[in-house]
Structure 1
Amino acid sequence: MMNVKKSQVLRNVSEVPSVLAFSQTAPDAGDFGGSIRILLRWKGSIYKKIWKDLLVYYGLYYLITIIHNYVLDEDGKIAFGALAKYCLKNSNSINVMIMLTFFTTTAMHRLFAMQTMIPGTAKVITYFVLSLKPNLPEGPIIVEQFARWTVLAWILTFRTVSKPLRSMFPDIISLQVAGIVKEKERLLLERVETEQNKTPRALMVIDWMLLLMKDCSIQNRFSEKSNYIKVVEVVMTFKKGCGNTIKFATNNMPYALIQAVIIVVYTYGFVTLMARNVEEASTCTFVEVIVNYVPVVPSMQFFVFLVWLDFGRVAVNPFGTDDDDIDVPLLFKTHVQDCFRLANLYSQDFEQIFGPLPQHQHNQDPSSQSATPM
């Protein structure tokens, strides 16, 4: 029965795109060549994030330049010049640094806290498997059910925060098709919505795990009575991690803060679009003309702030679809494989795999011992 479910679930997991099988390693910038390779990298780079904004910025800049040179009359050019000088004078008065520093610091602290409390399934399954008495007739079935419920709780937790995982499993029926949920379990989970129960589904599955552990304790299936309390502590730690992950999704950063930062950055960008010297070309040097038509410095300042803003926005939701986000589908695949591997520990025996260990001889023949040099 377990082998059938294993093949069914792994077949579903194998449908995850093969690109997920490659993990991103940390950049190596120990030498000059490594720094150049990092600068030229496209995947997960700042160029990939801001190239559209770059096109829009320069398109608007040259559109405004064309309007000034060929559309406006003399009075319009005078008014435009006054506005351009005003923006040029006050472009540095907008303190974007304070707002961005507060936003990115808050987002990064939140990201690091989230990464440290991501729940895992291996410890929970291992504790339970090794706490049971060996060779129980119902042992493999109990272990399989407990391990499957652990993975199910993990999936239901991360469906609340990860859009790619929701795309893989849009509803409970898809989980049943994948062999992760049984029909009776699906009905119990779907009843939550009909009864308007506010308890997250993942926490309900953990309650099932606690009930199974309670039954194992009553039926004296643990090797020692203290094992029951130890496994309960591990499961409650897992439950706390799942609950914190759900809170991460429900208690997200205020939209007002994100909107305020976006408004400040794009307002600064609009000011740099207008901030220019519109003196007649005859009175400007060649360098001034080039600077007016190629706004390198204003655009560089704006895009430094824009990259900073995008970095903070990525940190707000580390479970999205960006290149640098946490690969939740790959984590799911790993947890499923760990589930079956750890559950098989119950029916495996060390001597069947490696053979009996050599016996240590405490009483050795004195004649066989070599003389110790003085």
Structure 2
Amino acid sequence: MTISYNLDVSSSSSWTFLRVIFRWRGSVWKSVFQELITWTICYSIGSLVYRYLLAEHQQIQFAALAHYMDERMEYIPLTFLLGFFVTIVVDRWKNIFANIGFVDNVAFYIANYVIGNDDETRIAKRNIVRYLCLTQVLVLRDISIKVRKRFPNLDAVVDAVRKRFPNLDAVVDAGFMQPHEKEIMDKIDNDFSKYWVPINWIFAICVDLRLKGKIAADVLLNGVLNEVKTFHINLRTLCNYDWVPVPLAYPQVVFLAVRVYFLICIVSRQYIINDEADNKAKIDLYIPFMTQLQLIFYMGWLKVAEALLNPFGEDDDDLECNYIIDRNITIALSMVDQTSTDIPEQIRDAFHAGDKPFYSEEAADMPVHALVGSAARQGVEHEKEKVKMVPRNNTTDAEATNDSTSSLKFSNSNNLSKRLKDRFSSRKRSQSLSMHGLESGNAQNNFKYSSSTPVSPVDPVNHHLETVREEDTTSQKSTKSSKST
């Protein structure tokens, strides 16, 4: 069953925590109760053995072992393992629930697209939605224990979707399948599941209705068949999740890591009483309540993953497959047969005169906070004055473009000048060094070279800067002349 607690958290208050925390069914207390009691008993036995049955030298060795284990408990990354594992399991659970299958959309299409109130048309519409529910029953019988047990026969109702339909005869007795339909399915000789058979019947019936003119157009037929296909894909997704679970090694690692961690805690978290031990406890407690809290949180975290790993079981928070089957067959038959033509008389509504919606006397004074845009209530000066609308001035864009272009050119020229200065300064240094070598080598010929003497009478860096500045000045003059024109 699914435990609902939404009413308890309908309002946020100091008592909301208490209303939720002291629930039993589906709670963390019920999940970890047995593990907590078992661990506490094992810890107490270990404490008694350490305190009263071991000799003094054995107690010292036990204290050293406990200290060694306690220092290395972080070698088991419980938070990392549980975090990723629970995330994967919750994502699978959400996808399974989203694909559980509701026939409402198909029933809407069948009720309004299939025209006719004669017996043949009514039977066809009822059979289409019944075949949808039959497909769902066949799928859930193979993946849910409850549906398999529910109806072993007509006289006994077992409280637990395989329980409901233990065999195809029970499905026939429950009305989801007719005897002649079961005979047709039995004639299909293969070892694979036959979920597709009722869907195939639905497609054949819809095409026949189109040929007889019961469905007015091909586009309407296509709409019906697309909804049926979507329903079938959802059920096939459920089968895929059941056939291919999370790889076995991953849950094995997580389940084993958590339990081994707290098994080691039976030794590592003992309160050491030996004076010679380096890890002697300053407070001697027989029950380590902090470790018990850790067990409740970590084991409860693990139990969440265990419960959601297969939501088609018999845990407190597993999906209510029997309810979904009952709801689908009841609502679908009502939609396509009982209420498809029962349309109310069309009269003028109560709001045609602009009346406001009514509230009860108790709720009339309740504040209603309007959902409006964040800037809707921002005051604007001269909001009620008439505003003259004019075309946008493109000259401003041209000026901004020219300014940005000139700025870009100037920045490029600065960067270029810097690079040229660096290049020519390095060239000057290399030439000065080479000239210095020549001067030292040819001292006997009285050949002198000054390292500060420029190589060229014209400085190329300054010459280039003057050229760039002249180009910028020329471009600015041409821009101003075009504006004045």
Corresponding position: 1:217 with 2:226: no
Stretches of structure 2 lacking an aligned partner (at least 5 in a row): 147-160, 350-485
Q: What aligned pairs does 1:306-317 form with structure 2 within 5 A after superposition?
A: 306-317=299-310
Runs (4+) of structure 1 exceeding 6 A deviation are 281-287
For the 8 Å contact 2:5–2:20, the answer to whether it is kept is no
Distance in 2 (alpha carbons) for counterparts of 1:25 and 1:288? 41
For the 8 Å contact 1:203–1:243, the answer to whether it is kept is no
2:18 alignment partner in structure 1: 36
2:42 alignment partner in structure 1: 60
Measured at CA, do residues 332 and 23 of structure 1 come closer, stay the same or move farther in structure 2, by a change above 3 Å? farther
1:169 alignment partner in structure 2: 165
Structure 1 residue 140, shift from structure 2 partner: 1.4
Q: What aligned pairs does 1:194-205 form with structure 2 within 5 A after superposition?
A: 195-198=189-192, 200-205=193-198
Alignment RMSD (CA, Å): 2.6
Cα deviation per residue 1:182-216 (whole Å; 9 max; x = unaligned)?
Answer: 11222333445xx3332x32222111111111221
Cα deviation per residue 1:244-268 (whole Å; 9 max; x = unaligned)?
Answer: 1111110111221111101110111
Residue of 112, 132, 138 corresponding to 1:156: 138
Considering Cα pairs closer than 8 Å and 6+ residues apart, tell me whether 1 or 2 has the greater RCO.
1
Distance in 2 (alpha carbons) for counterparts of 1:67 and 1:190? 66
Structure 1 residue 154, shift from structure 2 partner: 1.4
**Letter of the 1:170 counterpart:** P
**Letter of the 1:196 counterpart:** N
For the 8 Å contact 2:210–2:216, the answer to whether it is kept is no
Corresponding position: 1:294 with 2:296: no
Corresponding position: 1:280 with 2:274: yes
For the 8 Å contact 2:209–2:215, the answer to whether it is kept is yes
Distance in 1 (alpha carbons) for counterparts of 2:239 and 2:119? 37
1:188 alignment partner in structure 2: 184
Normalising by structure 2, what TM-score? 0.63
Distance in 2 (alpha carbons) for counterparts of 1:289 and 1:345? 74
Distance in 2 (alpha carbons) for counterparts of 1:39 and 1:340? 42
Cα deviation per residue 1:25-73 (whole Å; 9 max; x = unaligned)?
Answer: 4240610111111111111110010000011000100111122233334
1:24 alignment partner in structure 2: 4
1:6 alignment partner in structure 2: none
Equivalent pairs: percent with the same residue?
21
Measured at CA, do residues 191 and 279 of structure 1 come closer, stay the same or move farther in structure 2, by a change above 3 Å? farther
Distance in 2 (alpha carbons) for counterparts of 1:347 and 1:121? 15
Residue of 257, 261, 268 corresponding to 2:254: 261
1:7 alignment partner in structure 2: none
Distance in 1 (alpha carbons) for counterparts of 2:5 and 2:55? 58
Distance in 2 (alpha carbons) for counterparts of 1:39 and 1:325? 20
Corresponding position: 1:235 with 2:228: yes
For the 8 Å contact 1:100–1:308, the answer to whether it is kept is yes
1:118 alignment partner in structure 2: 100
2:81 alignment partner in structure 1: 99
**Letter of the 1:225 counterpart:** D
Corresponding position: 1:145 with 2:127: yes
For the 8 Å contact 2:60–2:276, the answer to whether it is kept is no
For the 8 Å contact 2:108–2:335, the answer to whether it is kept is yes
Corresponding position: 1:336 with 2:310: no
Measured at CA, do residues 81 and 23 of structure 1 come closer, stay the same or move farther in structure 2, by a change above 3 Å? closer
Distance in 2 (alpha carbons) for counterparts of 1:359 and 1:47? 57
Distance in 1 (alpha carbons) for counterparts of 2:124 and 2:305? 45
Higher Cα Rg: structure 1 or 2? Answer: 2
**Letter of the 1:252 counterpart:** P
Aligned residues: 331
Distance in 2 (alpha carbons) for counterparts of 1:186 and 1:57? 53
For the 8 Å contact 1:129–1:345, the answer to whether it is kept is no
Q: What aligned pairs does 1:71-86 form with structure 2 within 5 A after superposition?
A: 71-86=53-68
1:247 alignment partner in structure 2: 240
For the 8 Å contact 1:202–1:242, the answer to whether it is kept is no
For the 8 Å contact 2:85–2:254, the answer to whether it is kept is yes
SS across alignment from 2:318: coil
Distance in 2 (alpha carbons) for counterparts of 1:232 and 1:271? 59
Residue of 235, 242, 264 corresponding to 1:271: 264
2:149 alignment partner in structure 1: none
Distance in 1 (alpha carbons) for counterparts of 2:102 and 2:196? 15
SS across alignment from 2:236: helix
Distance in 2 (alpha carbons) for counterparts of 1:127 and 1:245? 24
Distance in 2 (alpha carbons) for counterparts of 1:152 and 1:287? 68
Bigger helix share: 1
Stretches of structure 1 lacking an aligned partner (at least 5 in a row): 1-19, 361-374
SS across alignment from 1:289: coil
Give the stretch that moved more between structures: 204-213 or 318-327. Answer: 318-327
